[in-house]
Amino acid sequence: MPVILLLFAACLIAQPSKFSPAVAQRDDVKKALAFIDAHFDAQVAEWIKITEIPGPSGHESVRAAYIKGEVEKAGLTVSIDASGNVEARRKGSGGGPTVVFAAHMDTVFPAGTDVHVTRTPDGRLHAPGVGDNSASVANLLQAIRAIREANLNTKGDILYLFTVQEEVGLKGMYAWLERNPKVADLLVGLDGALGPVNYGALGIYWSRMKFTAPGAHTNRSKGAPNPVLAAAHCITEIYSVPAPGDSVYNAGGMMTAGNVVNAVPQEVTFTVDLRTVDKQLLASLDDAIVSKCDAAARAQKVTFAREWIQKSEAGGRPEQLEDRRRHPIVQTGIDVLRYLRIPLIKGSEAVATGSTDANVGVVNGIPSISVGRAHGGANHTLREWADIASARLGAKQIILLAAALTEP
């Protein structure tokens, strides 16, 4: 038996999977994988091109137009929905599930950011957004071409989805699923590092806490309602709220107040970022934080209002997601990573969390995972970088998942 098959068999655990090395040995799959190897230089060139197309959340239209044109060249009918998501369906022969592969087009960087890519001798690309998520977009585009070139045999349909506004609350994916509630049988989010497989959903609540009052000149401010004091007391009180388990919060990441020195401002705001995979804990912590704001506002005789920025629900703790862990999509993802010899930490090959478009599938009961794109680091900073060679595995991973998951 070939060494790679022995290694694969030795790593198998008692979880159902739709992948085996035999899938990778199919002639059509081998042809698709060979396409990735033969055209990898072109994939990297396109990766650089995509990275250098600015894509701030809410302003992805230029990227979307490029992607639409490239997918059309691959022989598919492409549409752009009302939100700006790009989608195309590749029909299967019938009898298998519809698998959605989703890569978000947006980046966290505002318009005007220098997104020029630098390639360094150590085999890396450096630029804001080069990893998150330009690499996934490039990987998926190249996988689409490889699947077409190889005439990959799939029983189920493959739906290619390039989403908008993932970085500001998974808005594109939520909107797509609302319009297409029964389309996806399985969902694979393409985002993050290569390994592990994420099958849960990190709940993320972003809020803007706003305190208002009439305001006052400094000379007449003694005893006047003061939104600054309310906000300050509130932040202090929020940090007295225990954050058990995996939960974490950040109060005051962004703040606004007055614009002159000699006046009590009429309005003060600060943000709260609250995160946990535990649904009940997410709700209880949110209630506790809001109650601190209410109390601070009453004490200072100012008005308080909470404004939502983002509200992504939690999938649940690992013990609450045992059925999700047993679904074949999870072990299939792990087995594909192992076949490609992507390092995984023993015991953490799959984790019950995630902060990607796949979260939307998780909280809506669709068997969903997220898998990575390339090795890299410093995401969401101007120092972001990605390892070039590993993107080859990111693209091959999509082909192997498509071949395996579209089977009945």
Which residue type occupies 60? E
Alpha-carbon distance of 157 to 185, in angstroms, equals: 10
Q: Which domains does the chain have, with CATH numbers?
A: 3-201+315-405 (3.40.630.10), 203-312 (3.30.70.360)
Q: What is the pLDDT of residue 15?
A: 86
Query: Could you tell me if 394 and 136 are in contact, meaning their C-beta atoms sit under 8 angstroms apart?
Result: yes
Phi, psi of 270 (to 5 degrees): -150, 160
Cα gap 339→39, rounded to integer Å? 21
In angstroms, the CA 70 to CA 49 distance is: 13
Q: Could you give phi then psi for residue 48, rounded to 5 degrees?
A: -60, -45
Contact 101, 191 (CB under 8 A): no
41 vs 43: CA distance, rounded Å = 5
As a whole number of angstroms, the distance between CA 112 and CA 329 comes to 40
Q: What is the pLDDT of residue 9?
A: 45
Cα separation values, 267 from 97, 156, 201, 210, 212, Å: 52, 55, 34, 7, 4
Q: What is the pLDDT along the chain (408 residues), one digit of tens a residue?
A: 444 444 444 444 468 999 999 999 999 999 999 999 999 999 999 999 999 999 999 999 999 999 999 999 999 999 999 999 999 999 999 999 999 999 999 999 999 999 999 999 999 999 999 999 999 999 999 999 999 999 999 999 999 999 999 999 999 999 999 999 999 999 999 999 999 999 999 999 999 999 999 999 999 999 999 999 999 999 999 999 999 999 999 999 999 999 999 999 999 999 999 999 999 999 999 999 999 999 999 999 999 999 999 999 999 999 999 999 999 999 999 999 999 999 999 999 999 999 999 999 999 999 999 999 999 999 999 999 999 999 999 999 999 999 999 999
117 conformational bin, left if phi > 0, alpha if psi -120 to 50, beta if neither: beta
pLDDT at position 268: 98
Cα separation, 90 vs 158, whole angstroms = 5
- The two tokens of residue 390 are 């590993």
Give the separation between CA 386 and CA 379, rounded to whole angstroms.
9
Contact 162, 104 (CB under 8 A): yes
Instruction: Identify the helix (H) or strand (E) that includes residue 271.
Output: strand 267-276
Q: Find where tokens 């862990």 sit.
A: 325
Cβ–Cβ under 8 Å, residues 74 and 150: no
- Residue 141 Ramachandran class (φ > 0 left, ψ -120 to 50 alpha, else beta): alpha
Query: What does the pLDDT read at residue 178?
Result: 97
Instruction: Report pLDDT digits (tens) over 13-40.
Output: 468 999 999 999 999 999 999 999 999 9
Closest CA to 269 of 252, 259, 255, 258: 255
Query: Which residues, 6 or more positions from 17, have their beta carbon under 8 angstroms from its beta carbon?
Result: 328, 331, 332, 334, 335, 404
Q: Which of 250, 318, 325, 314 is nearest to 284 (CA)?
A: 314
Whole-angstrom distance, CA of residue 265 vs CA of residue 259 = 8
The bridge status of strand 263-264 relative to strand 186-190 is unpaired
The model's pLDDT over 364-385, given as tens digits with 9 standing for 90+, comes to 999 999 999 999 999 999 999 9
pLDDT for the residue 14: 60
Return the closest-CA partner of residue 119 out of 39, 37, 47, 40: 47
